[in-house]
Structure 1
Amino acid sequence: MRRPEPVEGSKPGEPGWVPSLVALDIDGTLLIPDLERGMAAEVMTQPVLDAVLDTARAGARVVLASGRAPLSMAGIADRIGLTDLVRELTGEPLHIVASNGSVVVRHAPLEMVHEITFDASEAVRTVLEHVPGAAVAVEEHGVGYRVNRLFPPGELDGEMIICDIEEMIAGPVSRVIIRDPDSTSEDFVHLAKQLGLHGTNYFIGWTAWLDLAPEGVSKASGLEWVCAELDVEATDVLAIGDGRNDIEMLTWAGRGVAMGQGPQVVRDAADHVTGPVTEDGAATELRRWFG
């Protein structure tokens, strides 16, 4: 499949515009979530899978952008055939924006090419003063996570290494996860606003799941790094996502598209709203540009 030729002077989202790079969230965009457990199914529907691979075949750069760790995202790219297809088409590895933008990797083989770290100690201690029973995890790249206690089954990929909290936050980290199965996502939204969490960015998941990241870091900043390397302008980027951690990406991209089941604040931030993940909304948007 050949990539359609863009019409000179066309604006993002208008007829004649063609994305050069497509940034795709994973959970709730490509994979259908299990909202009760705060997890995603590990299988993509066939229409979504076909649309993603056809987008790459058409010549657009496909970049996965997620809050997941690099190891988890690389595994998904491998399973759906995207890793091998990108290598075959471009002769280059796939770019992945992981950990809500704190980490950028190329794959395969898995190679970290960009990482931003921060001192999370004060923010973590502040949150734990209000949610003392929460589980805390810090990424251990290529292995899994250091955790103060085990997370619910299936929520973290890789090995979980039990550590003392103070040991976990003693040095710079790229990301911290705080999870409280006894709270709700709205509880965490209110808590984060109440605490302020100065010096950090934070992202709330479907459930009581709080990601702490370096200030100013988001999927958008990670994608900016990728675009600079690939010589792509933000106006030539199509981004699709469903969560609060996608808002910066959707407002930064030339065309930001929210999934139909996303929270109202996410849909309000987007240029367009497609169908929900259960109705293959990502495929609907991709087929608009790549047949």
Structure 2
Amino acid sequence: MAATGVPNVLVLDIDGTTVTSQKCVDPDTKDALLQLQKQGIRLILASGRPPEGVYPIARQLRLQQFGGYIVAFNGSKVIEYKTKRCLYEQYLSKETLRSLWYDARCYGLGIMTYGKGKIITASEPDPYVRAESSWSHMPIVLHEDFLKHAPKTIYQCLLTGKPEQLQALNPLLSELYLGKAEVFHSEPSCLEVTPCRVDKSLGLKKLFCHLDISPSQVVCCGDSYNDIGMLRYAGVGVAMANAPQAVKEFADYVTCRSNDERGIVEVVRQFFPSVLPA
């Protein structure tokens, strides 16, 4: 979508976009985003992570001070960061969860979801689940009877396994769950599953309605397949240099620098020149 006027909202994916491959915010990126907010530009973090996984980044970027918002679980939950008030939420149905558990066992995949401050999995944690636990600071709880111990409200499930296996299964599962859930292959070792018709763009639509923001005022940045919806929805959709070509094709602008090369600093210079002159 073509932007009209000067953008006053920046929406950032986290992994592969805002943070480096080491899952940290580069000091120059942090400084640029703080300067951006000091000039009245609203910052929104839109991630596949659970809220607990977004909060440490939100604290570093001082979203509480500047009135920022979080779109978590790929759009399934929208939160005002300062108050932790939920503005919108959507859940997976129990029937869909049961089917996912069955399919995970059939295809030899791991399955995990999020409880209150913890990761719940049905099998011995694989490297992806252990990494998720490490950077989110959420302990892993193993329950072989996954359905019995899963929370009543589930915003998102992850299916984990070998990258080549998930790449092959992605189109099959997307077709199988058509009309029931959305399946995103956003990381090589996992498939993210959200409620039907829920993605980051839907979460943003709900938030923008609440804040009376037009998408033409917005710059969205992302690097993966779960970002395509919001790249298309925003006034300006920005794909990172490290994004797959299939994602870049939906962007209005592709950065020259990757997430490990301060690509977001480039975005601020390009679209918010009053903050960081070129």
For the criterion TM > 0.5, the same-fold answer is yes
Structure-2 residue corresponding to 1:4 = none
Say yes or no: does 1:207 pair with 2:188: yes
Query: How many residues in Structure 1 have an aligned counterpart in Structure 2?
Result: 262
For 1:114-129, list aligned pairs within 5 A: 114-119=88-93, 120-125=96-101, 127-129=103-105
Say yes or no: does 1:83 pair with 2:63: yes
2:33 and 2:61 in contact (8 A); partners too: no
Moved more, 162-171 or 271-280: 162-171
CA RMSD in angstroms comes to: 2.2
Q: Which one of the candidate residues 130, 155, 167 is aligned to 2:132?
A: 155
Q: Name the CA shift for 1:283/1:146 in 2 (closer, same or farther; >3 Å).
A: same
Instruction: Give, in whole Å, the separation in 2 of the partners of 1:193 and 1:139.
Output: 22
CA offset digits 1:221-251 (Å, max 9, x no partner)? 1111111111101111110000100000100
2:30 and 2:61 in contact (8 A); partners too: no
Specify the SS of the correspondent of 1:28: helix
Specify the SS of the correspondent of 1:205: strand
Instruction: Give, in whole Å, the separation in 1 of the partners of 2:208 and 2:224.
Output: 22
The structure with the greater share of residues assigned to helix is 2
Moved more, 172-181 or 246-255: 172-181
2:174 and 2:183 in contact (8 A); partners too: no
Instruction: Give, in whole Å, the separation in 2 of the partners of 1:188 and 1:208.
Output: 12
Say yes or no: does 1:281 pair with 2:263: yes
Say yes or no: does 1:94 pair with 2:68: yes
Instruction: Give, in whole Å, the separation in 2 of the partners of 1:234 and 1:168.
Output: 40
Specify the SS of the correspondent of 1:124: helix
Say yes or no: does 1:137 pair with 2:112: yes
1:188 and 1:210 in contact (8 A); partners too: no
CA offset digits 1:18-51 (Å, max 9, x no partner)? 2121110000101122xxxxxxx23212222122
* Structure 2: tracts of 5 or more residues without a match: none
Specify the SS of the correspondent of 2:206: helix
The structure showing larger relative contact order (alpha-carbon pairs under 8 Å, at least 6 residues apart) is 2
* Structure 1: tracts of 5 or more residues without a match: 1-10, 34-40, 87-92
Instruction: Give, in whole Å, the separation in 2 of the partners of 1:288 and 1:225.
Output: 27
1:100 and 1:219 in contact (8 A); partners too: yes
1:20 and 1:61 in contact (8 A); partners too: yes
Instruction: Give, in whole Å, the separation in 2 of the partners of 1:71 and 1:263.
Output: 27
Q: Name the CA shift for 1:22/1:182 in 2 (closer, same or farther; >3 Å).
A: closer
Specify the SS of the correspondent of 2:221: strand
Identical counterparts, % of pairs: 26
The normalised TM-score by structure 2 is 0.86
Instruction: Give, in whole Å, the separation in 2 of the partners of 1:277 and 1:82.
Output: 20
Q: Which amino acid in structure 1 is aligned with residue 62 of structure 2?
A: L
Instruction: Give, in whole Å, the separation in 1 of the partners of 2:254 and 2:24.
Output: 23
Structure-2 residue corresponding to 1:25 = 13
Q: Which amino acid in structure 2 is aligned with residue 280 of structure 1?
A: R
